[in-house]
Structure 1
Amino acid sequence: MKNAFLKEAETKKALADFILSTDRLSMGNHCSKFEVSFSTKQQRSNAVLFNSGGSANLAMLQALINLGRLNTGDPVAYSALTWSTNTMPIIQMGLEPIALDCELDTLNVSSQKVKERYEEVPFKALFITNVLGFTADIDQIKKFCNENNILLLEDNCESLGTVLPQGRTGNFGIASTFSFYVAHHMSTIEGGMVCTNDKELADMLKIVRANAWDRNLDKKKQDELRETHRISDFESNYTFYDLGYNLRPTEITGFLGNYQLQFLDHTIDLREKNYLEIEKAISENDDFHNLDHAHILKLSTFAVPVICKTKELRQHYLNRFDSSGIETRPMIAGNMQRQPYYTKYVKQLFELSNTDLIHSNGFYCGNYPELSTDDIALIISCLEK
């Protein structure tokens, strides 16, 4: 990203005015307002705001354990092409991580990969990552999960705004997480969200987020908990009902979320336009594998993914990008099983041929609304044969 926010000068001015005029900076009404407006935008019943997308992942799994929907030792499958904070909470919660390979033409886990692994290791939950704005046949994954009583969870941090004929990414699982870190589709500097239509889960997420107390719940739920546990209103100030953390955002997060949300649709349109223009150079160069997004109605890309046919070709193109002053990154974290921490805590490893190829041969560069015509032309020139 060139800046921390879209329309940076305007946003910073509004933020400065807010800080000078507000009488509260700890989590309050602006956070609640952002939860309502974001859930409306995402078309989900409930949204719970956190201080980061990683915290959202952690809280989501803790909430499911608190509710007894997951238990210590349960196998949880996950997309191996992912980010650390998708996998680490599985390990931290004492669950068993089961890595799934992706498809080379979508970067994502397909229903076929899910079925193959389930036959080998029946898992209780599937934490899928919608990678870089793309997706595979997630509608069929949802169908399979429903048929086998598998909890389907989505990390939609990289795909906010992607739409399929069957609906928005982030709306297929029982819950989904989002990130508002600086480099994402919209920025609150740091920040994350869990969206769900499950009121019981949403209430538990609010408990987990704030030290496991009840003060952010509606009065009906508060009364229910206090009556069940015989807690007076006075004692309720420091009563803790389950396992939780302090993962609360500040009012700065809420204010920025509400302010930046007005630009989101325009941001997504520009990201799609930029990507489709750059993709032409990729499709015309046989040094690269092509990606399939014909099944996607709205492609809200997070970056420009490039998969070279050999490791040597990747180094060649990385050198071209570097000499042109364009930053590049590995394809997320590559094969998560190859990360140093993973084998310290996880003994069962799986063959992941496509994820390994992407790990060795893939990279991406930024795609964001403020790319100029010259910026896009320079990226294209680096991708030409």
Structure 2
Amino acid sequence: MKKAFLYEGKTKKALAKFILSTDKLSMGPKCEEFEKAFAKKQGRKWATLFNSGGSANLALLQALKNLGRLIDGDSVGFSALTWSTNVMPIIQLGMKPVAIDCNRETLNVMSRQLLNRLTQQKIQAFFITNALGFTGDLQEIKSICKKNKIILLEDNCESLGTELPAGKAGNFGLASTFSFFVAHHMSTIEGGMICTDDEALAEMLKIVRANGWDRNLTPKSQKRWRKKFNIKSEFESKYTFYDLGFNLRPTEITGFLGLFQLQYLEETTNKRESNFLNLEKIILSNDELLPLNHEHIKRLSTFAIPVICKTVSLKAKYIKRFTDAGIEIRPMIAGNIERQPFYDKYVTKKLELPETDFIHDNGFYCGNYPELTKKDIETIGNCLRQK
């Protein structure tokens, strides 16, 4: 990833013009316009914009607690291969995190892994991560959750644009979160979104986002909340806090950039898929690397180029190749979250996660930016070839 935005020059010029011309930079009409446009693009009824994807994860769980759909002590499953802010809110909000193993061939929780965990432990919600542009068999996972009365949530921060035959990643759960940090499919510098078809949840998310008050609700919703709590004064209503919340508001800069970058989402998705499929041919011809199974996915909007080596020593060899070639690389997200210091500090019960351990020990990734040049792709390809 070489730039902050796709078409960076054009984006920065448009942003500068917007900043000079607008009289409002705190959250306002541009944010609302972006929310509506993103919801339409994703195919959900409501979208709520936040200052980051991590904030979106926190707000989603807080909103579900405010609504009474989750309570203190509930067990919340999560993908063992994930990012810290998918798991930390579970702990911070007084619930119990339950790691679910991921499959080394898909990088994601598959239905059989979920079923295996459910034979051992009951969970009230499952916050699944769609990792690096790939997914598990989400339709089957959705059916399992429905049968077992489990609230399914999707962290889709790394898989915007990925599609399965049954629909887009991010549209299988009650709600889904997205990130617009600079390295992601769309950049608003910092930013995040929650999409849902549940009106009560969408309303509560707006309350949670802004300190617990009703200022960003529709007039009809404001009237209902004020009547419920007998708030008769318009003056007092603006400083009435109805439920637990935070200040997780975005700015108008976030809204403007989101709208501007949204026009390029199809282009970036197509380029990311093309980059990966071209490099995958080299991976498939290298018996030192493990190819990924994505036969169940209709369209791949890959966040990165994952490299899964068959042994730890091979991983060291390929890391050296990439490093020597000047290619930035990363661990596989945060690896097995159970092996992170914060998890060890706050969670005493550890589970067996052999597949995620394999990915943690043997995998890494490099970026898959849509403006990678032919030479960039060739350089990555040379590092992936068996020699």
What band does the TM-score fall into relative to the shorter chain? over 0.9
Task: Give the number of equivalent residue pairs.
Answer: 385
Equivalent residue, structure 1, for 2:141? 141
**What is the alpha-carbon distance in structure 1 between the residues aligned to residue 317 and residue 111 of structure 2?**
34
| CA drift at 1:290 | 1.0
**What is the alpha-carbon distance in structure 1 between the residues aligned to residue 234 and residue 176 of structure 2?**
33
Q: Note the alpha carbon deviations across 1:52-107, whole angstroms, 9 max, x for none.
A: 00000000000000000000000000001000000000000010000000111111
| CA drift at 1:323 | 0.5
Moved over 3 A (4+): none
Q: How does 1:171-186 map to 2 (within 5 A)?
A: 171-186=171-186
**What is the alpha-carbon distance in structure 1 between the residues aligned to residue 110 and residue 10 of structure 2?**
42
Equivalent residue, structure 2, for 1:39? 39
Partner SS, residue 289 of structure 1: coil
Q: How does 1:1-385 map to 2 (within 5 A)?
A: 1-231=1-231, 232-385=233-386
| CA drift at 1:299 | 0.4
Partner SS, residue 213 of structure 1: coil
- Partner amino acid, structure 1, of 2:227: E
**What is the alpha-carbon distance in structure 2 between the residues aligned to residue 310 and residue 296 of structure 1?**
27
| CA drift at 1:206 | 0.2
Matched-pair identity in %: 64
Partner SS, residue 152 of structure 2: strand
**What is the alpha-carbon distance in structure 1 between the residues aligned to residue 56 and residue 234 of structure 2?**
29
| CA drift at 1:48 | 0.2
| CA drift at 1:39 | 0.2
Partner SS, residue 123 of structure 1: coil
- Partner amino acid, structure 2, of 1:179: S
**What is the alpha-carbon distance in structure 2 between the residues aligned to residue 248 and residue 240 of structure 1?**
16
Partner SS, residue 194 of structure 1: strand
Q: Note the alpha carbon deviations across 1:29-68, whole angstroms, 9 max, x for none.
A: 0000000000000000000000000000000000000000
- Partner amino acid, structure 2, of 1:89: P
**What is the alpha-carbon distance in structure 2 between the residues aligned to residue 337 and residue 266 of structure 1?**
37
**What is the alpha-carbon distance in structure 1 between the residues aligned to residue 123 and residue 296 of structure 2?**
28
- Partner amino acid, structure 2, of 1:362: G
**What is the alpha-carbon distance in structure 2 between the residues aligned to residue 297 and residue 155 of structure 1?**
19
In angstroms, what is the RMSD of aligned CA positions?
Answer: 0.5
| CA drift at 1:348 | 1.0
Gapped runs of 5+ residues in structure 2? Answer: none
**What is the alpha-carbon distance in structure 1 between the residues aligned to residue 325 and residue 134 of structure 2?**
27
**What is the alpha-carbon distance in structure 1 between the residues aligned to residue 83 and residue 355 of structure 2?**
17
Range with bigger deviation, 203-212 or 227-236: 227-236
**What is the alpha-carbon distance in structure 2 between the residues aligned to residue 118 and residue 224 of structure 1?**
40
Gapped runs of 5+ residues in structure 1? Answer: none
| CA drift at 1:234 | 1.2
Partner SS, residue 76 of structure 1: strand
**What is the alpha-carbon distance in structure 1 between the residues aligned to residue 153 and residue 234 of structure 2?**
35
**What is the alpha-carbon distance in structure 1 between the residues aligned to residue 336 and residue 61 of structure 2?**
22
Partner SS, residue 255 of structure 1: helix
Partner SS, residue 366 of structure 2: strand
- Partner amino acid, structure 2, of 1:3: K
- Partner amino acid, structure 1, of 2:305: V
Partner SS, residue 77 of structure 1: strand
**What is the alpha-carbon distance in structure 2 between the residues aligned to residue 76 and residue 116 of structure 1?**
15
Range with bigger deviation, 58-67 or 114-123: 114-123
| CA drift at 1:136 | 1.6
**What is the alpha-carbon distance in structure 2 between the residues aligned to residue 155 and residue 104 of structure 1?**
19
